[in-house]
Amino acid sequence: MSRYESLLQELDERCGWRRVKAALLDRKIPEISGRVSWLYTFGSATLFLFLVQVFTGILLAMNYAPTPDHAYASIQFIDQTPMGGLLRAVHKWAASLMVIMVTLHLLRVFFMGAYKYPREMTWATGVFLFVIVLGFGFTGYLLPWDQKAYWATQVGTEMAEQVPLIGPATASVLKGGEVLGARTLTRFYSFHVLLLPALLLIFVVVHLFLVVWHGISAPPERKP
């Protein structure tokens, strides 16, 4: 046994990484028409895009200033730094792809009936994850603090205000007052980098646990 294999063996004896790997990665994927379908990759693709967002978001946050006086200028500074414009583009487009992938994943689960017993909780956590991903897109849109972002957020908060009963309170929490301003930008930044990532991490862990626990559902069979 080589030194490398010995090290892996010792790590496995202490943390059981091989069993974790087998539970997360070495799972049987149901077949459609005798072969594994790409339809089952939407969830994994969404998780990969989330990791891309975390990596690029951390790098962008190092140079971003969440204040009305400096937010737009900090975005311009990021675009002028080496690889800064590329990082921001990757973060922006990966966010759009993430919304598309999580939507396709939900549609696949729905039309294949994978939300039924005993996977109701898996479906419910997936719906919450979908809402959180949309929240990421909404809160992140304001952060460049340009005219397009400002007025799009103005429309979004006014739409939220029209929701019966909770609408006015929701809009007030989002804006931090009666109008969009410094508090709104600070709150959106806090939601985007603190609250939503924490919620997403919790629901991702629960969702993956349920997927591993119940396994991946087979597609419905046609009755003769």
Task: Give the domain ranges of the chain.
Answer: 37-214
**Token representation of residue 169:** 């309170």
| 160: three-class secondary structure by DSSP | helix
Specify the CATH superfamily of domain 37-214. Answer: Cytochrome Bc1 Complex; Chain C (1.20.810.10)
Assess contact for 186 and 66: CB atoms under 8 A: yes
Q: Count Cβ atoms below 10 Å from residue 132 Cβ, excluding itself.
A: 19
Predicted TM-score of the model (pTM): 0.89
Q: Hey, what are 83's tokens?
A: 């690889």
Question: pLDDT digits over 169-208, tens only?
Answer: 999 999 988 889 999 999 999 999 999 999 999 999 999 9
Structure tokens at 2: 């080589």
Output the six-digit token pair for 173.
Answer: 């929490």
Q: Residue 122: which pLDDT band, with cuts at 50, 70 and 90?
A: very high
Q: Measured between alpha carbons, how far is 81 from 20 in angstroms, rounded to an integer?
A: 40
Q: How far is CA 156 from CA 17, 163, 164, 201, in A?
A: 45, 12, 15, 25
